[in-house]
């Protein structure tokens, strides 16, 4: 049973695997915080449209559970151009995971996975 972490930041893709969910989520949180701190914060102009930093996804981190689970568990975070982080679950039909109270996106993912 291996949990897989996939990191997509720009054109680079990194994959890691972990023996348990907590280690995978720890790695996701650590890397997500690093990427959020180094987010560019610049708007991008493309011909007739301008994309503000909060509209850009500069990195996506996804944790996938062991394949023996049906359907396979998938959660992750999108790191935006302004350094904000948004948690989600699912892959094709991604659903935003909102924090409860002052809960961080990373804590919200742990809560969702503990309910699974």
Is the bond preceding residue 71 a cis peptide, omega within 30 degrees? Answer: yes
| pLDDT over threshold 80, residue 67 | no
Summarised one tens digit per residue, pLDDT across range 32-47 is 999 999 887 778 778 8
Q: Residue 71: its pLDDT value, please?
A: 56
CB 23 within 8 A of CB 3: yes
pLDDT value of position 13: 96
CA-based radius of gyration for the chain: 15
**What's the pTM?**
0.84
- Say how far apart CA 50 and CA 68 lie, in whole Å: 43
């Amino acid at each position: 049973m291996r949990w897989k972490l996939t990191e997509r930041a720009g054109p680079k893709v990194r994959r890691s695997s972990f023996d348990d969910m907590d280690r995978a989520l720890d790695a996701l949180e650590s890397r997500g915080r690093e990427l959020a701190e180094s987010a560019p914060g610049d708007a991008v102009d493309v011909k007739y449209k301008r994309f503000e930093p909060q509209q850009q996804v500069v990195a996506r981190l996804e944790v996938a559970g062991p394949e023996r689970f049906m359907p396979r568990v998938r959660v992750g975070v999108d790191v935006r151009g302004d350094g904000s982080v948004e948690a989600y679950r699912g892959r094709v039909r991604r659903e935003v995971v909102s924090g409860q109270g002052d809960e961080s996106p990373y804590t919200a993912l742990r809560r969702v996975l503990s309910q699974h």
